[in-house]
Amino acid sequence: MKRMLFCLMLIAGLVGTRSWSAEPVWFGHTNAQRVLLINSAMDLASFAPILKEFVILHPDVRVAYRDVNTLELYYQTIREQKKPQASLVISSAMDLHLKLVNDGYAQTYQSSFTDRLPDNFKWRNQLFAFSLEPIVMLVNKKEFPGELPEDRQTLLQTIRQNEKTMTKRIGTYDIRQSGVGYLLASQDARQADVTWGRLLEAFGSHDVQTYCCTHDIIDDVASGKLVLGYNLLGSYASQRAQEDDRLKMILPKDYTLMLMRAALIPKGAPNAEDAGIFLDFLLSDKAQKMMQTQGLLFPIRPDLNNPNDPYVVNAPGPTGIIELDQQLLVGRDYAKQKRFIRNWEMALEISDED
């Protein structure tokens, strides 16, 4: 455990600290009595309206929002276990969050809102999911050679047929840097081991570009530097695809992974009461509806009255919901993780020294 921790911290240290020392963004009255610090791996664009609404409803609370990378979020929470700064920690790396709970870094919270939450969207009353979004491919319609891919098979074919065009023009997560990237890759490997192997081989032979964060990939796809982003978070992709005509979001037909965003209150967190109130707000019908109508996130219980709503998932194929339970620990097994990253590095022909 310590060795693994050290190992991963080394990686994290090497990768740099893009968001780790970032100053928090403040919401609400400056003279509000209480402060709620949220550490979150979520783009502020998707979250700001919800935070604004919250401080209007609770004027005596001032919210400080700090955007932190998923992997860094994990280490920061462990580092601060003695004296946590954040009242609430939100992440899309479900596996890391579940591991935090399993290893005893979270505290229990229960309210009528959490009780209403279905069992598969919470764990031990310490980890609560508030959104469920698809994992998608995003393509640049103009730049993409040939027909747009429906699934991973057709993507493979396109890569093979258009080797030149595709080289260096596919972007995906660096699983060493991004917690959610690793989770998605490991889930791909679990869902379809052979397809994943071929895809990884194809990525490697065509110099796939690796990124730390979703919006960097989206930016590059939009600009035409990339033709395709693989395994992107549906909420961000959907937002940009709606604004930008050049972009097209594709839900893979063979299977579409479904990812939850989850929140936990660290053990010994300051102002845990307000963290609970905010959590209740996230799970409330009001916030859930805001996510859908304002196109921020995919809510857990979408309003199905509007079938063409882009925030209602209409997957063409089967969906593979990443379950919020102990199985996630397997992906984060020290030996398995080491082996998986080594295989990934070998396939992509990169190493730490690069």
Partner 1 sequence: MWQKSPNHRNLSEEEEKKALANAPSLRFRFILAGVLVIGVIAGLAINLIFDYSQKLADLSYDRLLRSALLQMDENVGLMRNEVSIDIPWSAFATLAQAEEDRVFYKVESLEQGFITGYQDLDSQPPQPPVSDQIQFYNQEYSGEMVRFAWVQRHITDPETAQTVRIILGQTRLSREQMASAVTQKAVEVVVFIVLVAITLIIIGSHLVLRPLHRIERALEERAMGDLTPIDINTPKETHHLKVAINHFMARLQTNLEQLENYTADAAHQLRTPLASLRALAENARDISSLGNSPERQHQALENIVNQCDTLSQTVTLLLNQAVVSHRLQTHRLEPIDLLAPITASCREQAVTALHQGVHLSLDCELKETMILGDSFSIQQMMQNLIENAVRYSRADVDQATEVIVQVSEFERFYRIKVIDYGNGIPDIEKERVFERFYRGRYDIAGSGVGLAMVKDIVDHHSARIQILDTEPKGTTFQVDFAKFRFDEGTL
Point out which residues bind partner 1 (CB under 8 A). Answer: 1-3, 101-104, 119, 123-124, 190, 323, 325-327, 329-330, 333-336, 339
Residue 249 phi, psi dihedral angles, 5° rounding: -95, 130
Query: Which residue number, 124 or 142, has a Cβ lying nearer to partner 1?
Result: 124
Cα(171)–Cα(207) distance, integer angstroms: 9
Query: Which residue number, 125 or 157, has a Cβ lying nearer to partner 1?
Result: 125
Shortest distance in whole angstroms from residue 328 CB to partner 1: 8
Burial string for 5-19 (b: 16+ CB within 10 Å, else e) reads eeebeeebeebeeee
Q: How many Å separate Cα 299 from the centre of its chain?
A: 14
Cα(68)–Cα(199) distance, integer angstroms: 29
Query: Which residue number, 237 or 264, has a Cβ lying nearer to partner 1?
Result: 264
Query: Which residue number, 95 or 274, has a Cβ lying nearer to partner 1?
Result: 95
Shortest distance in whole angstroms from residue 141 CB to partner 1: 36
Shortest distance in whole angstroms from residue 271 CB to partner 1: 23
Query: Which residue number, 1 or 304, has a Cβ lying nearer to partner 1?
Result: 1
Query: Which residue number, 138 or 263, has a Cβ lying nearer to partner 1?
Result: 263
Shortest distance in whole angstroms from residue 53 CB to partner 1: 32
Spatial neighbors of 92 by CB under 8 A, at least 6 apart, are 41, 42, 70, 180, 233, 259, 260, 261, 262
Which residues on neighbouring strands pair with residue 161, listed in sequence order? none
Shortest distance in whole angstroms from residue 257 CB to partner 1: 14
Q: How many Å separate Cα 39 from the centre of its chain?
A: 14
* Contact assessment for residue 93 and residue 323, using Cβ atoms and an 8 Å cutoff: no
According to DSSP, the β-strands at 122-123 and 25-27 are unpaired
For residue 284, give the DSSP letter.
S
Shortest distance in whole angstroms from residue 123 CB to partner 1: 7
